[in-house]
Amino acid sequence: MKTLLITLILSTMLTGGSIYDFKVPGLEGGTINFADFKGKKIMVVNTASKCGLTPQYTGLEELYKTHKDKLVIVGFPANNFAGQEPGSNEEIAEFCKKNYGVSFLMAEKVSVKVKILLPFLNGW
């Protein structure tokens, strides 16, 4: 999660843009357009179906249901961390709905890579 968040922050800082400039493919099709979320808090979360932290879906879903009028959660499944998200987009969507009732937004599976390491990020 930290890597993806850092990437979004750094991309925004380096390009002079904002998070509202981003559009990403949705897990079940369509496009997630961050411009649609102006006026709301946005939480970007790295997810993985076979991770020890997978039960985070329960808390994220509760948080989303409680605050969905002012909070958007976007999950980004990735398989870059010890192969913990090996499934296809369809398998991930089915897993999230069946096991955790996920109704918050999920982007299609991404590949997370760190290209920049800045000294002030060492504490992350």
Q: Tell me which of 77 and 2 has the higher pLDDT.
A: 77
Helix, strand, coil percentages in the chain from 3-state DSSP, rounded to 5: 40, 20, 40
User: In whole numbers, what is the pLDDT of the chain averaged over residues?
Assistant: 86
Q: Give the pLDDT confidence of 75-96 residue by residue, as tens digits.
A: 999 998 899 999 999 999 999 9
Output phi, psi for 80, to 5 deg: -80, -10
Mean pLDDT of 44-68: 95
Catalytic residues: 51
Q: Is the model's pLDDT at 9 over the cut of 90?
A: no
Residue ranges and CATH numbers for the domains of the chain are 2-115 (3.40.30.10)
Q: What is the pLDDT of residue 13?
A: 54
